[in-house]
Amino acid sequence: MSIKKFLSTSLALTGLLLAFVLLFGLPKLAGRAEAPAAPAVAPQNVGVDNETCLACHGLPDQQITLPSGEILYLTVDREIYNNSVHGKNGYACVQCHTTLTSYPHPPLAAYTRRDATLNLYQSCGRCHYQHYDRALDSVHQKALATGNRQAAVCTDCHGAHNVRPPNEPRSHIPQTCQLCHSEIYKRYEESVHGSALLGEGNPDVPSCIDCHGVHDVEGPSDSQFHLFSPQICAKCHANDELMAKYGISTDVFETYVADFHGTTVVLFEKTTPDQETNKPVCIDCHGVHDMREVDDPESTVIKENLLQTCQKCHPDATLHFPEAWIAHYQPAPDNHPVVYYVNLFYSIFIPTLLGGMGLFVVTDAGRRLYSRLKERQHG
Ligand code: HEC
Ligand code: HEC
Ligand code: HEC
Ligand code: HEC
Ligand code: HEC
Ligand code: HEC
Ligand code: HEC
Ligand code: HEC
Ligand code: HEC
C-alpha cells in the first residue's frame, strides 16, 4: 500500500468516525419538548357571565345564512361546553369571544363558513400563545399562507366548545389527522406501526406526531425532512432496550450508516443539509406510512419485492443485484466472509502499521539524540 493510499484510507475512516460522532452527538431532530398547557389568563375575571350569552345561544336551532349561502349554526350546547376542559375550569364565553360582550354584536366579517373559523380560532392564542407561536412555523400555516384554506388550525383538531384531552386514548391522535388525511391514515392503519397502535394500543410505536411533530408539523416540503428522516427512526430503532422487546435488531442503524448509501447521506446532512440527495434513506426501501414487517409478503424489502425496490434508482439492476449487497447484516465468517476478513485484516493491519510507524519515529529520534549526546561527550 502506497503512503498516499494509506493516508486517503485513514482520512476516509476518520471522516466516517466523525460523521458517526456528529450524527449521534447532535441533539435529535425530534426530541423537542412540547410547551405545557400554560394559560396566563385566570377564569371568570370578566363581568359577563355565560348565562347572558346562553339566553340566546342556549336556545335550540339558532342559525343564520352567510353571504356565501352556507349556514352558520349559533346554538351552543350548555352541557357539552360545561364538560369541556374550559367549561370545567370555569372559563367564560367572553374570555375567548372578547369582542362580543354584548348584543347587538359588531357586524359579522365572514363571507363563508371557513372565514368564520379562520377569524374565531385566533382567540386560542390569547392563553395558549406558546402553541400558537409554535404553529406559525408548521406546514399547515405555510399552506394557509399560500392560499390553501383547508389546512388545519386549532379548532379543526381540538374543536372549540368541546375541547378535551387530545391524546386520551393515544389512538385519538391519528384519528384527528384522518379528518383530512384519510388516504394516509388508511395506509398507516395497515402498517406495522399503525396496526400496533390502533389494534393493540401499543405505546411503543409512533403515531403521526412522533414523526411529524404536533403544532410545528413538518413534512417533505421542508427541504431537510427527507434527508434527516433516518434520525426519526433512530429515536426507537437505535434503542437497544426498546427493540429487544420485539426481537428487532438495532444493527440496522449502524449498518445503514456504514453502508455506501448511508455514508453519503450522513455526510450530506453535515455539509449541505438544504439539498436533496438521491441516496436512499430508510423510507426509500421500507416505505413510509405502509411500512411492513420485513417478512410480510407485502413488505417492500422481502426477497420477492426487493429487486423492484432497488430498481427505483438502479433501473438496470437484474435478479442477482440485491445479492451483491449485504443489507443490514454485520459481516461474519459465515455471512459475507470476504467482507468480514477484509475488515478484520484492516482492523489489525492499520493499528499495526500506525503502531510500527510510531515506534519507528520514537526509536529513530532516540537514536539521533543518543548519537548527538555521545558526540558532545566526545567533543
Ligand atoms: C339577544 C341575543 C344574543 C345574545 C344575548 C348574544 N348573542 Fe351572539 N349572536 C346573536 C345573533 C342573532 C348572532 C348572529 C350574528 C349577528 O346578528 O350579529 C350572534 C352571533 C354570535 C357569534 C358568531 C360570530 C360573530 O362574530 O358574530 C358569536 C361567536 C356569538 N354570537 C357569541 C356571543 C357571546 C359570547 C355572547 C355573550 C356575551 C352572545 N353572543 C350574546 C344573538 C345573541
Ligand atoms: C375556548 C374558547 C371559546 C370559548 C370558551 C367559547 N367559544 Fe364560542 N367559539 C370559539 C371558536 C374558536 C369558535 C369558532 C368555531 C368554528 O369555527 O367552528 C366559536 C364559535 C362560536 C359561535 C358561532 C357558531 C359556531 O359554533 O361556530 C357561537 C354562537 C359561540 N361560539 C358562542 C359561545 C358561547 C355562548 C360560549 C359560552 C357558553 C362560547 N362560545 C365559549 C371559541 C370559544
Ligand atoms: C382564557 C384562556 C384560554 C383560552 C382563550 C383557551 N384556553 Fe385552552 N386551556 C385553558 C386552560 C386553563 C387549560 C387547562 C385546563 C386543565 O389544566 O385541565 C386549557 C387546556 C386546553 C387543552 C388541553 C386539554 C388537556 O386536557 O390536555 C387544549 C387542547 C386546549 N386548551 C385548546 C384550546 C383551544 C383549541 C382554544 C381556542 C378555541 C383554547 N384552548 C382557548 C385556557 C384557555
Ligand atoms: C393538526 C392538529 C392540531 C392542531 C392544528 C393544533 N393541535 Fe393542539 N394538539 C394536537 C394533538 C394531537 C395534541 C396532543 C399532543 C401529545 O399527545 O403530545 C395537542 C395538544 C395540545 C394541548 C395540550 C398540551 C400539550 O401541548 O400537549 C394544547 C393546550 C393545545 N394542543 C393547543 C392548541 C392550540 C392553541 C392550537 C392552535 C394554535 C393547536 N393546539 C393546534 C393537535 C393539534
Ligand atoms: C414512522 C414515521 C411516520 C409516521 C408514523 C407517519 N409519517 Fe407521515 N411521513 C413520514 C415521512 C418520513 C414522510 C416524508 C416522505 C418523503 O420524504 O418522501 C411523510 C410524509 C407525509 C405527508 C406528505 C406526503 C404525502 O405522502 O402526502 C403527509 C401529509 C403525512 N406524512 C401525514 C401523516 C399522517 C396523517 C400520519 C398518521 C396517520 C403519518 N403521516 C404518520 C413519516 C411518518
Ligand atoms: C383540517 C384538515 C387537516 C387536519 C385535521 C390535518 N391536516 Fe395536515 N394538511 C392539511 C392540508 C390542507 C395540508 C396541505 C396540503 C397537503 O399537503 O395535503 C396538510 C399538509 C400536511 C403535511 C404535508 C406537508 C408537506 O410537507 O407536504 C403533513 C406532514 C401533515 N399535514 C400532517 C398532519 C398531521 C400529523 C395531522 C394530525 C396531527 C394533520 N396533518 C391534520 C389539512 C389537515
Ligand atoms: C416511536 C418509536 C418508533 C419510531 C419513531 C419508528 N419505529 Fe419502527 N417500530 C417500532 C416498534 C416498537 C416496532 C415493533 C412493532 C411490533 O412488532 O408490534 C417497529 C417495527 C418496525 C419495522 C418492522 C420490523 C419487523 O419486525 O420486521 C420496520 C421495518 C420499522 N419499524 C421501520 C421503521 C422506520 C424506517 C422508521 C423511520 C421512518 C421507524 N420504524 C420509526 C418503533 C418505532
Ligand atoms: C437499501 C435498502 C434499505 C435501506 C436504505 C434500509 N433498509 Fe432496513 N432492511 C432492508 C432489507 C432488505 C431488510 C431485510 C433483510 C435484513 O434484515 O437485512 C431490512 C430489515 C430491516 C429491519 C428488520 C430487522 C430485524 O431485526 O428484523 C428494520 C427494523 C429495518 N430494516 C430498519 C431500517 C432503518 C431504521 C433504516 C434507516 C436507518 C433502514 N432500515 C434502511 C433494506 C433497507
Ligand atoms: C433512492 C435511490 C436508491 C435506492 C432505492 C437504492 N439505491 Fe443503491 N445507490 C444509489 C446511489 C445514488 C448510489 C451511488 C452511491 C454513491 O456514489 O455514494 C448507489 C450505490 C449502490 C451500490 C454501489 C455500487 C454502485 O452501483 O455504485 C450498490 C451495490 C447498491 N447501490 C445497491 C443497492 C441495492 C441492493 C438496493 C436495493 C436494496 C439499492 N441500492 C437501492 C441510490 C439508490
pLDDT of the residue at 74: 97
Q: Is the CB of 117 under 6 A from ligand 2?
A: yes
Q: Is the CB of 185 under 6 A from ligand 2?
A: no
Mutation to probe ligand 4, out of 129, 130, 131 (largest number of atoms < 8 A from CB): 131
pLDDT tens digits, one per residue of 323-337:
877 678 666 666 666
Which pLDDT band, with edges at 50, 70 and 90, does 40 fall under?
low
Q: Is the pLDDT of residue 379 over 60?
A: no
Single out the residue of 302, 299, 257 nearest to residue 281, CA to CA: 257
Cα 328 from Cα 311, distance rounded (Å) = 19
- Closest ligand to C-alpha of residue 58 is 2
Q: Is the CB of 99 under 6 A from ligand 9?
A: no
- Going from the C-alpha of 73 to that of each of 56, 60, 164, the distances in angstroms are 12, 10, 21
Share above pLDDT 70 across residues of the chain, in percent, rounded to a whole number: 82
Q: Is the CB of 280 under 6 A from ligand 5?
A: no
pLDDT tens digits, one per residue of 352-361:
777 778 888 8
- Closest ligand to C-alpha of residue 132 is 4
Q: Please identify, by atom number, the ligand 8 atom nearest to the C-alpha of residue 257.
A: 38
Alpha carbon 306 to chain centroid distance? 25
Cα 260 from Cα 248, distance rounded (Å) = 23
Please tell me the distance between residue 286's alpha carbon and the centre of ligand 5 in angstroms. 13
User: What average pLDDT does range 133-141 have in this prediction?
Assistant: 93
Please tell me the distance between residue 161's alpha carbon and the centre of ligand 2 in angstroms. 6
Q: Is the CB of 313 under 6 A from ligand 9?
A: yes
pLDDT of the residue at 320: 87
Cα 238 from Cα 178, distance rounded (Å) = 29
Q: Who lines ligand 7 at CB under 6 A?
A: 192-193, 196, 202, 204-206, 210, 229, 232-233, 235-237, 246, 248, 282-283, 286, 291, 293-294
Residue with cell 432496550: 241
pLDDT tens digits, one per residue of 206-231:
999 999 999 999 998 887 898 899 99
Is residue 196 within 8 A of residue 217, CB to CB? The reply is no
Q: Is the pTM of this model over 0.85?
A: yes
- Locate the domains of the chain by residue range: 3-30+223-324, 341-379
Single out the residue of 199, 210, 193 nearest to residue 293, CA to CA: 193
pLDDT of the residue at 366: 85
